[in-house]
Structure 1
């Protein structure tokens, strides 16, 4: 690693340590992270680089920015593995963070991103992406149904899928109705979001905002995924209200936003990722997914309660906003 860093960047890494799963080293007050980016195309890397430069120009704190190679490239390859080097001024993880407010300010700043993105934009694509994912998993489920489940995980998958199929179809219909019924407001413009925003996305030991986490999407993506994360990690319901109220106080959300967030929470992404993760993992690494699926199924009633309780997260200012409810959830 040290030799590669010296060869491609002309930087001398004395001591390597790990940050967020990456090899890292420090020079003066700057931390450098060497990251594998096999999952990102050259076009995607260029768009992420553009967003990083934009946020740096906007003085967004703690953003990891690309270090160009000595040949002025965004990445280098070694033994068919693609690497990038990111740098960021060192800031210790904060305990006093108001995550809802900070995320709202981040989104607010990033809404003025001036360039068109074609590779990492997800804005307006949820319906297509969800339908595609649902069709793929349904086809896989039918195959397992015909071949008869072989183990406990597959039996649970075969038995539980129809319920989550219904939940996903409800989510897609709710999304379609939202786009038909409600008019997007300025707050609904595309912004820089994250694949799966959670408590550790920024607070990763060094408080670094990693550009490789980014996609261009509606702010509701990050809000919904953080609420989903809270459900599966925190029994304290007040965390939902705190986060939502902090965000809404900093950047008031529209009715369109509230409905989009709800449609994303309805879509059982946690279930899809568990099933996909199991079958994409080597045999020896599947035990964690077996436990995760059992836990998800045991908590399905609680998740329905969470979906019912979403309407209670509306702040006092937004109580007048009408959100259609799903009758089958027994409100």
Structure 2
């Protein structure tokens, strides 16, 4: 890797170390890392433009470094990589204040075809159709998925309906601007990930917040309500945003992400037990969230949930 970095970037790295598939090094006390490409190449120019715009605003996300041929991607040993300069000095796990700070600096008026993921209904409906077809082909290969899948598809359909009703009844106001968001905020997300342009998309700010809340509930719910209170103290959410946040809390990303990892051979199907065992508790949490939000905003109920109250 050292020779490739010298050849393609005219940099002389010191003390390269590898963690997972990422290579880290310093040049004159400046931090760099070489990251395997994890995005469709059609998205790269849009990501690069977002990166430049944020850096020009002095918001120090990781900086994409072009190679000698002025290309974003460098293929090394048949693997495509992107080189970044990093300004992050520590790689702690994130909290909700980190997300709020990031979003307050990344509002955008862009409606980029490749990065804009704000049409949740279309994305979720397509995902449901794909997953339902895929599960219908399993036979007995994944018995636990087959046993639990209909429940989580039902949750997803609830989320879709709630989102549809919100977008039909309300329009975003000036506080509902799009921001730079992330493909996924989960229990593994660190500051390093938060500032990594290869994770960037464009969406409403409640996307990252709701994903954080969901994964925090399942994997580390200590202080979760304190963080939720902090989030609402530091944000002036519109009714539109609050309804979209609740819709996204209904959507079972935590199940579908694990499902994908199981199908791709990265996780064992038995890992689903952890999620399934907590599902009734999560329903109670959704009731609590609904009560919390309805004290501040006139949000519509989800009938089967409110029957639990």
TM-score, normalization: structure 2? Answer: 0.91
List alignment gaps of at least 5 residues for structure 2. none
- 8 Å contact from structure 2 (residues 187, 219) kept in 1: no
Counterpart Cα distance in 2 of 1:34 and 1:266: 37
Note if 1:121 corresponds to 2:109. Answer: no
Shift of 1:28: 2.8
Q: Secondary structure at the match of 1:216?
A: strand
- 8 Å contact from structure 1 (residues 120, 215) kept in 2: yes
Residue 295 of structure 1: aligned partner: 274
Residue 172 of structure 1: aligned partner: 160
- 8 Å contact from structure 2 (residues 144, 269) kept in 1: no
Residue 135 of structure 1: aligned partner: 129
Note if 1:100 corresponds to 2:81. Answer: no
- 8 Å contact from structure 1 (residues 100, 245) kept in 2: no
Mapping 1:12-161, distance limit 5 Å: 12-18=12-18, 21-37=21-37, 39-61=38-60, 63-93=61-91, 99-111=95-107, 113=108, 115-123=110-118, 125-144=119-138, 147=139, 149-150=140-141, 154-161=142-149
- 8 Å contact from structure 1 (residues 64, 208) kept in 2: no
- 8 Å contact from structure 2 (residues 16, 24) kept in 1: yes
Shift of 1:115: 4.3
Mapping 1:178-327, distance limit 5 Å: 178-198=166-186, 200-204=188-192, 209-236=195-222, 238-239=223-224, 241-281=225-265, 285=266, 288-314=267-293, 319-327=295-303
List alignment gaps of at least 5 residues for structure 1. none
- 8 Å contact from structure 1 (residues 275, 289) kept in 2: no
Shift of 1:276: 2.2
Alpha-carbon distance change, 313 to 49 in structure 1, aligned in 2, over 3 angstroms: farther
Task: Give per-residue Cα distances to partners, 1:40-87, cap 9 Å, x unaligned.
Answer: 2333111111111111112224x1011111122212123432111000
- 8 Å contact from structure 1 (residues 103, 247) kept in 2: no
Shift of 1:216: 0.6
Q: Secondary structure at the match of 2:105?
A: helix
Farther-moved stretch of structure 1 (290-299 vs 219-228): 290-299
Shift of 1:93: 4.4
Q: Secondary structure at the match of 1:215?
A: strand
Counterpart Cα distance in 2 of 1:115 and 1:320: 31
TM-score, normalization: structure 1? Answer: 0.85
Shift of 1:21: 4.8
Farther-moved stretch of structure 1 (101-110 vs 68-77): 101-110
Counterpart Cα distance in 2 of 1:142 and 1:163: 15
Matched residue count: 307
Counterpart Cα distance in 2 of 1:87 and 1:208: 14
Counterpart Cα distance in 2 of 1:129 and 1:319: 31
Shift of 1:187: 2.3
What is the root-mean-square deviation in Å for CA atoms of aligned residues? 2.3
- 8 Å contact from structure 1 (residues 172, 263) kept in 2: yes
